[in-house]
Structure 1
């Protein structure tokens, strides 16, 4: 249920990667027994999102099977291997095609392999956009900069759609840097790329 005062918003979970360095689908790596893609979907719902959309690509069948009866929409990116921008575009096109979506609804972009994201953090991003910021990003701390998860006002979604296949959302965030809200999230730098990451983070294989 969406907290009082928080506007309707949607969450797009980018979960289309091929996990070539990991050697197994990172979407299915487990934290406390829960696949990361399922965890991302659950946290998106717990944040109060009106709609949760999962972009699949590599390991599509097993990822969709893991999601099972989760209350999510699915969008398959056939060109996932061409770059992260293709998944971003696939997700946003599916989001904008939703006839139930309010035209001024913000969107949150998140990855499925940032294991320390919380529902509270996602809500905080949306709250900043609701207060008038064009976007709100996760601040990693020090010289590490900022990035996703990030929330975007509806008027920025066309800019995200215009990115090329090799680009993530960072160019749009940089373009609006002067009015960008930053929400501290130092654990946002932690992701799952190699087998060594599994042991270091206490994760288990699918």
Structure 2
């Protein structure tokens, strides 16, 4: 069973005020940390999607087992970035059985959580295996290929969470505890670095 992983990192980081993909994180940068997590998982193929500041960010990344997809229309929103990635996957022959969608700004979520999602999906039963945030299910999440068409129709800022919510009967969740924090603002970054930079998350 082939599972592809889309790492979404195309946004303009408006609330952060600078490219958060390049923020220092431990001994590397935030996006490199996310890539290390992705390629360390059980996903068969990793595709990184860049958009804003793509050239600058690409030059700052270490080489690894991943492909890069440039989304020139990244300003159209998260949904358009997912659409770009899934449309790319639909050119594969054979088509992957599923896609794991993750964000580049959740550094506390490790490969162990991604593997838990993948393992649960491979057990069968549900077409969507998502991260349980308590009040809702969200990404990182694995979607079977029966959802590729719907994912490719996402527009604007409507992300994968919208699709999960509208298909909750076909979804199951895996809790990630307090590791789901993401980095959107300078305050988020300062808070998280103070508590986790020097520890193994």
TM-score of the pair, normalised by structure 2: 0.89
Larger CA deviation: 181-190 vs 75-84: 181-190
Counterparts of 1:103-182 in structure 2, within 5 Å, are 103-132=95-124, 133-141=126-134, 143=135, 145-182=136-173
* Residue of structure 1 equivalent to 2:53: 59
Runs of 4+ in 1 over 6 A off after TM superposition: none
In 1, the alpha carbon distance for the partners of 2:167 and 2:10 equals 27
Q: Which residue of 2 aligns with 1:201?
A: 192
Instruction: Say which SS state the counterpart of residue 91 (structure 1) adopts.
Output: helix
- Which residue is 1:76 aligned to? 70
- Residue 160 of structure 1: CA displacement? 0.6
Q: Structure 2 regions of 5+ residues with no counterpart?
A: none
Unmatched tracts of structure 1, length 5 or more: 1-6
The whole-number CA distance in structure 1 between the counterparts of 2:27 and 2:188 is 16
Structure 1 residue 188: Cα displacement: 5.0
Contact 1:138 1:188 in 2 (8 A): no
Instruction: Assess if the C-alpha contact under 8 Å between 2:109 and 2:180 holds in 1.
Output: no
Match of 1:95 in 2: 89
Residue 104 of structure 1 deviates from its aligned partner by 4.6
Indicate the larger mover: 35-44 or 105-114: 35-44
